[in-house]
Structure formats: structure tokens, C-alpha cells
Structure 1
Amino acid sequence: MVIPVHDVNPARRTPWVTYALIAANVIVFLSTPGLTGSVAGGGDLAQLCRLHAFLDHYALVPRELIHHRMSQSVPTGDVGVGPAGPGCIVGPPPYGKSPVLSVFTAMFLHGSWLHLLGNMLFLLIFGNNVEDRMGHIRYVLFYVVCGYAAGYGFALLNDASGDPLIGASGAIAGVLGAYLVLYPKARVWVLVPFLVFLPLRLPAWLVLGFWFVLQAVYSSGGVVFGAGTVAYAAHVVGFVTGMLLALPLKPGTPPPPEPPGLLFGRQARPRYTG
């Protein structure tokens, strides 16, 4: 798996929406109750129960979304002692929840620093140019539509599941799909793990195309989610949605700058004839 670190594609305007989305995701992550300590495996049971209750309240739950009704038995955030020992208490929900709105709130929830930083890295690198091409308002609508498409697509494939789905990756996959359509020849600096991390400058179509193929392959093998798992099907749906929405903008999109004489990030040797 390659790790993108920078693209050679300067934007014409400041990507305020992309910055705001990153800030909102970080703030929500830092404000998530019970998350401190639990992400490192050092949290106590009370923290874990609060975290489960919070996620169940604001995360997307496929069964709730498809049947448009919330579960009648959810974690309450309290600790109790049962026949098997201490555990999180489950009971009737002390709140009302809109399954449709939960698709939106789930886009700003993350389960670990690695989950958060990985998503924000991709959004920062590729979101600025997509926002630049679409404009701020249209970009906001595009981001939300891709997130909803990814959430509903995943829920349809897992309609019986009661496990929460969280993360911005579905919406960000839409951003990647749009970038692939609009700037396929843009150069992207990536780190390729091969004994050490090798820096290479590769075309966007290769970097993002490889990423999409990887998600599609993983999703075809059965999709699961939860702690330590990834909703690959949501990535695939979000990516395809982003591509389709970006197609009308392809004509007239200025090509990215491409330094002459560069081949995959290395200076090509001149060829002589005669």
C-alpha cells in the first residue's frame, strides 16, 4: 500500500471547506467521551461503556437506517455486574435518534488516532483541488452526498447488522473519485514500503486507481466492520459516486502542471538521435 504525502497540483484559492472539515473531525474526536485511554488499550471499563453508548447514539447502524427505526436495546454508558462479571449495561435508549441524520453525524466520528489521521491526510492532499474546481458551496454538497451514498450503500449490503459504522472515509472516497476524474495526470508524491519507505512521484491515476482496486478486492471478500475492521464497500460506493458527480466538470478543467523531463519522480535521461 502506497502512502500519499503531497500532490504537485497547486490550488487557485484557499480550501476553507477542506480545512473546516479537518478541524471539525479533530474537534469531535477530541470531544468523544471515553475515547481517551481506550484507543491505546489502557481505558477502564467505565470509559469503554461511555464510548460504546456515545457511538451507538451518533453512529450509523445499518439495521436502524434500512428499517428506519432505532434499536430498543442500546448501551446506556453505565457499568453493571451480571452473571458473567462486570460489563456495560444495555437497556432502552434514553434518547431519540434519527437514523437518517446518523449518516451525517457518523462522518465525523473516528475510533482511533490512526483512523482519524489516515482519513485527514487523504482529505488534505486531494480535497483542496476538488474544492477549488467545484467551489466552496458545491463542494460541501458534494462531500455530504458522497458520504450519504457510501453510508446507504453499505447499509443495504449489511441490512441486518446492528453494529455501528463510523468514519469520514466514505465521503473522502468520493473526493478521491472526483480527483481521479478531474486530475488523472497530476503527480503525487508517495512513500512506497520496500525494506525502507521509497519516495516516488507517480501519476494520480495510478495511485488512486490502485487504491480503488484494493478496496474493491477487499470488499468482494465479504465486508465486516467494527473494532479493527474496515467498511471497504462504503469506500467503493463513495468513490464511484464521486467519479459520477465529477464527470460533468471534466470538460474545461485546467490540466495540472507537469514538470518536464520527469518520469515517476526521477529525472529522465535525454535520448539522442543521429
Structure 2
Amino acid sequence: MSDTGSGQEPRQTGREPVFMLPAVVTALGGIMLAIHLATTLVLDNVGLYQLTLWFGFVPARLLIPDQIPGGFLPLIWTPFSHAFLHANWEHVIFNTLWLVIFATPVARRYGAIPTLVIFLLTSAAGAVAFAATTLPSVQVLIGASGGVAGLTGAAMRFIFQPVLVGTDPDTGQRVLLGRHLASLREVFTNPRSRNFSLIWIVLNAAVPLVPALIGQDIQIAWQAHLGGFVVGLLLPPLFERNWQHE
């Protein structure tokens, strides 16, 4: 498989193992699992608190920097670094599995660097959405959910679309170009991508109502999910390349 950053799915040569993952997906998942394992084995509660404080995203730094260690400075890296920290094993395992499912088609279509860019930008977008809905309270965002949601949004642009047949610009031969990149309108007129997207958006938007229904609070950063997903929907055209298709 290709990691060249091309805009369409490359042609495959030979047979590959069924469970082979793109290197960037394996690396991202491995890093998240390794960090959580290391923090579990090495850090005590004080160390975990310091790690979360310096690498989790704390929007309140914008308003009360003098009351939080580090002041404004961690806002440079924490919109991204929060994605590599997780609250518990269930949290990191769920995010890793979701990453594998939706980052894999994105990585196979665009390559390693665009996949990493989408993950980091949508993690930051999730952090912005979290800040916009939690300030002025002091809350901390950790977890890869925003970035994984962004890769899910990016995948919605093509995984349910038809495969294109085109002409190789060098040889003139007919080739499979990969799946059509849907416009936003096509995403919401295709029944499968529309239903998946709407169900996903509604479920996340409904999270704030859950405490009123069950009588207890739940720690789900639904804002990060929505922010990441929406920005992920917008990014794929930046990484497409042009083909002559029929």
C-alpha cells in the first residue's frame, strides 16, 4: 500500500495479509497504548495529575493563566497532546479500535502524512469546541476522541461512494481510481453516509441530556466529538489529486 499522500486509493500488487494496517494507524494506536501503559506502570497519582495538567487541554488557561501552573504556555501544544492521554484502559482501547476502523481507509487513500495532519487538526478542532462550551469553568480534556471523530468525518466523504474507473494519464489504460469523493451535499443525500452521520451527530449532541435522564453525570467530551467530526468532513478535498475519470 502507498504512503505517498496520493489523493486516490492506489492499485494493489500481489496479496497482502488480511489484518495488515497502514503504518501510520499502527503507529498512532501503538503510541496511545504505550503512553497509557507507561503512565499506569510508572506514575503515581501526583505524577498523573502533573502529566494531565501539562499535557491535557485546559481551556481556563485563557482566562486565569496566573492560577494554573504554566500559564498560557501549554496552550501551544495541549490542543494536540491531549489526544495521546486517556483516563483508563476502556477509554484508550475504545479510541484505538475506532481509530483502526476509520483511520485505515483514510490512510490507504491519502497516505501517512495527510492522515496524521487530519488527526492533529481535528484534535485541535475538538479542543476548540470543548473550550467554547465549557468556559469559564475549569475542565480538562484528554483523549483521542476528537481526532478519531475527525478521521470518521473524513472517511464519510468516500467510504460509502461508488468506485471510479478512469484513464491512466501516462498509458491511457483503464484503471480503478478508488471511491468517488462526495461533496457535502452528496454525503447527506447518500442514504448510508447520511444515516451514519446523522445518527452519530444526534447521539453526541444528546449527551448533555443524559444526566437529566439517568440522574448522574457522565464524562464524555461530546463537544470534541462534534468539532472533530465537522472539521474532518471538510478536510479531504485538500488531499485529493486529479484523475481523468469516466
TM-score bucket (shorter structure): 0.5 to 0.7
Give the secondary structure class of the aligned counterpart of 1:183. coil
Query: Which is further off, 162-171 or 12-21?
Result: 12-21
CA offset at residue 209 of structure 1?
A: 3.7
Which residue identity is paired with 1:166?
I
Judge conservation of contact 2:32–2:85 (CA < 8 Å) in 1. yes
User: Distance between the aligned counterparts of 2:109 and 2:77, measured in 1?
Assistant: 28
CA distance in 1, matches of 2:81, 2:241: 34
The structure carrying a bigger strand percent of its residues is 1
> In structure 2, do the counterparts of structure 1 residues 124 and 161 end up closer, same or farther at CA, with 3 Å as the change threshold?
same
Give the TM-score taking structure 1 as reference length: 0.61
CA deviation profile, 1:160-195 (whole Å, cap 9, x unmatched):
122211000001100111111211259xxxxxxxxx
Q: Deviations over 1:112-137 (max 9, x none)?
A: 11100111111001111011112211
Q: How does 1:7-46 map to 2 (within 5 A)?
A: 15-32=22-39, 35=40
In the alignment, does 2:213 pair up with 1:216? no
Return 5+ residue gaps in structure 1 as ranges: 1-8, 38-45, 74-92, 187-201, 254-274
Superposition RMSD in Å: 3.5
SS in 1 for 2:67: coil
Corresponding residue for residue 67 of structure 2: 72
Distance 1:184 1:220 in 2: 31
Residue 226 of structure 2 is matched in structure 1 by 236
Larger RCO (CA within 8 A; separation ≥ 6): 2
What is the aligned residue count?
Answer: 195
Which residues of 2 match residues 126-137 of structure 1 at below 5 A? 126-137=102-113
Unaligned runs of 5+ residues in structure 2 are 1-8, 13-19, 163-190, 212-216
Paired-residue identity, %: 28
C-alpha distance in 2 between matches for 1:248 and 1:145: 13
Q: Which has the higher helix share?
A: 2
Aligned to 1:178: 154
CA distance in 2, matches of 1:94, 1:107: 19
- Listed one character per residue, the Cα deviations across residues 133-176 of structure 1 (whole Å, up to 9, x for unaligned) are 12211221111111111111211222212221100000110011
What amino acid is the match of 1:58? Answer: F
Q: 1:94 to 1:237 in 2, by over 3 A?
A: closer
Q: CA deviation at 1:48?
A: 2.8
| Partner residue, 2:60 | 63
Q: Which amino acid aligns with 1:54?
A: L
TM-score, normalized by length of structure 2? 0.67
Question: Contact 1:60–1:166 (CA<8 Å) still a contact in 2?
Answer: yes
Counterpart of 2:221 in structure 1: which amino acid? A
Q: Mark the CA change 1:96 to 1:246 in structure 2 (over 3 Å): closer, same or farther.
A: closer
Selected match of 1:144 from 120, 124, 144: 120
Pair 209,121 (structure 1): closer, same or farther in 2 beyond 3 Å: farther
Bigger Rg, structure 1 or 2: 1
Q: Does the 8 Å contact 1:147/1:170 carry over to 2?
A: yes
C-alpha spacing 1:245/1:56, structure 2 compared with 1 (3 Å)? same
Aligned to 1:267: none
Q: Distance between the aligned counterparts of 2:208 and 2:72, measured in 1? A: 32
Deviations 1:74-116 (Å, cap 9, x if unpaired)? xxxxxxxxxxxxxxxxxxx489942121111111000011100
Letter in 2 for 1:212: I
